[in-house]
Amino acid sequence: MLKRIYDFISSNRLLTALFIAGIFFRLAFFLHAYRVLPVSTDEALPGLMAKHILDGEFPVVYWGQSYMGTVESFFQAVFIYLFGTIPFSVRVYPLLVGILFIFVTYRVANEMYGRGVALISLTLVSIPTVYLSICTSLVPPDNYLAIVLIGSSALLLLHRTTYKPISEDMRLRYHVLMGLLSGIGFWIHLLYIDYIGLILLFFFIQDKLILFRKRFWIFVLSFIIGFFPLILYNITHNFDTFTVAKGIGIGRAILNLTMLFKDVIPQLLGIKIPLYGDNWNTLSLPKYWGLILGAVYVAAFLYIIITRWKNILGFITLSLKRIGPTEMLLSFVIISIIIFIRSERANNWAVRYILPVFSVVPILLSAAIYDIWKRYKVIAGVMFALILIIQLYGNARVYMAWGVPEIVDKALDLPDDRPLIAFLESKGINKAYAHYWIADRLTYETGENIICARPYDERFGGRYKPRYTDIVDMSKDVAFIFHPTLGIPYDLFEENLRVIGGSYKKETIGPYTVFYEFVSPKIGEPLSPEGWVAESNYRQEDVRNAFDRDISSRWATKSPQRPGAYFILDMGRNQRVSGISMALGRFLSDFPRGVIVETSMDKVFWKEVVKLPRNVGSLAWKNGHPLFEMENGRTEIIFEPVEARYIKITQTSYANPFDWSIAELYVYEAIQ
């Protein structure tokens, strides 16, 4: 065995050197990131699921993200068992996936085009674009490079079954393996649909009666086996996975196409230098370098199209006589672009959604350079050198930027959490709320000794209830942690906190502001609505819905919020009151964005008791601490006890397109 390895290395020195260079390049990024970059929430979340796998759970999809499978977490569970919740345990997975991607890319290029193109492809992925370097050093973007690895492996099998003279028995085996890989890839992420589209297209091109062939149904059966866990999950969860992916109209798709070439592809190809996986922060190349690199890519792809236009037209007849490997790879790029621009989730920083094209772009680029080299060696050499130089430069810029604490702390929002953890531990606080970019990270770093939950699902607009939120909601001593650039500003939270009454302490720890030691206000029980009447300058006919004690009905302005809308409650007699609460029911977005509360005994002279210009919505007291009440949603307002018969609530801000709703209005009796 050792002799065979030695013989291979001796006869393939360039190939071996490139493989080793690719591995060492990734190890350099991995070790540097391990030293200077804290774990992010995108890394912590699958790590926390892995920890729960060790506790006997079997999560099929990400917590709160049913379009991503947990293959990664099952792998990481082994390392967390061995090493604990440290960065290495969650980063070894993308590192190994990145190394395997080098080998698979070489194999695909070698089988499709031969050794010359394969060596160029190997060089381009061994010293990759910055985005690919980040994907193999860190988890962000989660799971996506694994999709590309599995997809590239499926492409290799598709090429063999389409163009290689193989026995029917071997063809069936390839279809089984291709189906299993595709099923697992689809379980990992719905984005694998790009590869499924290409596979089905070439099945049909190869055999127009493919639906009647045994090998097709073997592929389908293997595919079902591969993503069977996802099938079971969806049967028991209302097919939730497939409600996430939504298409859009042609008009918006055209805008997405512009965005794709202006913002997304430049990051993928290194024309813009991303500082992190799918992050708004990018670095610039020196003047004209981006244009030069873009021109090289455009020239290479134009060369392919011009020299093979007759073959490309072969798609009109759907015949394999003209359609070769190059056309297969080009069609995959087109499929990926179409799916990207028609997706509701496409945006100008989510490079991950176009990442599958990296299965073919380095190979197509290498094929163009190699073909040009056979005719114009100097031009091809210059193109190849420019790409490598710019890729090396971009990687060096990111490598150095990661070593600057200010960039890590502020641009990437990954400050050192150790002082914060020490403070929480010193106060005996082991439950907290924070923005998602803080919450899962803090929970992972402490091995769940501190449970930090998202106060509400700010990431997905309330679609899911975040993991750990129930645990923190039911706890007594909790903290709220705020960061200056993430989520709600601490001063806005404090402004709303004062309105709901009670007391608290506040501390600044590095960039964080921590609220803790909450004491809830003392208020009486809600008054009976018997005998209440109301009036409003909007929808007078519906005002009784606001206190009929049916949370499913509501009073609403039925038009976007504008200053001046009011709701006046007449309690029928003077009452000593100290607060109100406006429940939202299922209309969680319809809380008043600004509010003034006034009281009166005669409806002539009004006393302003509360003015809240910026209402964050649904902040209320429960279990002795404030929380964002997201079950039915409510705006709670506590004030000094006052004698009143009338309570006037005026909406003072704007919220387009949301109206102002009150599903149920409660008035609290003041404690004597």
Domains and CATH numbers, the chain: 2-141+247-402 (no CATH), 418-519 (no CATH), 533-669 (2.60.120.260)
State how far the Cα of 80 lies from the Cα of 63, in Å rounded to an integer: 18
Q: What is the mean pLDDT of residues 179-195?
A: 95
The answer to whether residue 5 scores a pLDDT higher than 90 is: no
358-362, 614-618, 649-653: segment of lowest average pLDDT: 614-618
pLDDT at 11: 56
Q: What is the mean pLDDT of residues 68-87?
A: 94
**Of 564, 586, 568, 565, which Cα lies nearest the Cα of 665?**
568
CA–CA separation, 443 vs 545, rounded Å?
Answer: 42
pLDDT in tens, 247-284: 788 888 898 899 999 999 999 999 999 998 887 788 88
Model confidence, pTM? 0.89
Contacts of 276 (CB under 8 A, 6+ apart): 134, 138, 140, 412
Q: For residue 413, which phi and psi values (nearest 5 degrees)? A: 55, 45
* Mean pLDDT, the chain, whole residue set: 91
Across residues 289-304, what is the average pLDDT?
Answer: 94
Q: Per-residue pLDDT for 10 more than 60?
A: no
The model's confidence at residue 140, banded by pLDDT at 50, 70 and 90, is low
pLDDT, greater one: 462 or 418: 418
Looking at the chain, the whole-number percentage of residues with pLDDT higher than 90 is: 73
Model pLDDT, residue 313: 81
Which residue is listed with tokens 């060696």? Answer: 377
Range with the lowest mean pLDDT among 348-352, 485-489, 511-515, 583-587?
348-352
Higher-scoring residue by pLDDT: 50, 134? 50
Q: Is 419 left (phi over 0), alpha (psi -120 to 50) or beta?
A: alpha
Whether 459 has a pLDDT exceeding 70, the answer reads no
Percent of the chain with pLDDT over 70: 96
Q: What is the enclosing helix (H) or strand (E) of 433?
A: strand 431-433
Q: What is the mean pLDDT of residues 506-530?
A: 94
384, 120 contact by CB (below 8 A):
yes
Per-residue pLDDT tens digits for 23-35:
999 999 999 999 9
Which residue in 609, 544, 608 sits closest to 570, CA to CA? 544
What pLDDT score does 315 carry? 78
What are phi and psi for residue 600, nearest 5 degrees? -155, 155
Q: How far apart are CA 192 and CA 155, in angstroms?
A: 12
Q: Judging by DSSP bridges, how do beta strands 431-433 and 479-482 pair with one another? A: parallel
Our CA angle for 331, 345, 439, nearest 5°, is 130
pLDDT band at 97 (very low <50, low <70, confident <90, very high): very high
The amino acid at 487:
G
HSE-up of residue 467 (Cα within 13 Å, Cβ side): 19
Where does 168-288 have alpha helices with state H?
Answer: 168-188, 193-206, 214-226, 228-236, 241-244, 250-259, 265-269
∠ CA 421-39-412 to the nearest 5 degrees?
Answer: 100
pLDDT of residue 608: 95
- On whether the CB atoms of residues 556 and 636 are closer than 8 A, the answer is no
For β-strands 65-69 and 282-284, DSSP reports them as unpaired
- List the single range of 458-467, 534-543, 631-640 with lowest mean pLDDT: 458-467
At 556, is the pLDDT very low, low, confident or very high (cuts 50, 70, 90)?
A: very high
Q: Is the Cα torsion angle 76, 80, 83, 86 positive or negative in sign?
A: positive
Q: What average pLDDT does range 638-643 have in this prediction?
A: 93
- Give 304-325 pLDDT, tens digit per residue: 999 988 888 877 777 788 888 9
Please check the confidence at residue 464 and state whether its pLDDT lies above 90: no
DSSP 313: G
Q: In the predicted model, what is the mean pLDDT of residues 407-435?
A: 94
Higher pLDDT, 219 or 66: 219
| Secondary structure tally for the chain: helices H, strands E | 25, 19
Decide if pLDDT at 443 tops 80: yes
Residue 621 dihedral angles phi and psi, to the nearest 5°: -95, 140
Please, which residues bridge with residue 666 across strands?
A: 581
**E-only strand ranges, 565-633:** 566-583, 595-600, 607-612, 619-622, 625-628
Residue 461 pLDDT class (50, 70, 90 cuts): low
Amino acid at 92: V
278-284: long-range pairs with CB below 8 Å, 24+: 278/140, 278/141, 278/349, 278/350, 278/351, 278/352, 279/349, 279/412, 280/349, 281/411, 281/412, 283/394, 283/397, 283/398, 283/401
Q: Which helix (H) or strand (E) holds 443?
A: helix 436-445
Residue 460 has pLDDT above 80, yes or no: no
Reported confidence tier of residue 139, pLDDT bands at 50, 70, 90: low
At 327, which helix (H) or strand (E)?
A: helix 325-341
Query: Based on C-alpha coordinates, what's the Rg of the chain?
Result: 30
What is the phi-psi region of residue 138: left when phi exceeds 0, alpha when psi lies from -120 to 50, beta otherwise?
Answer: beta
What is the pLDDT averaged over residues 7-35? 84
Identity of residue 315 = F
The confidence score (pLDDT) of residue 237 equals 87
For residues 436-460, average pLDDT: 88
Q: How many CA atoms lie within 13 A of 120 on its CB side?
A: 23
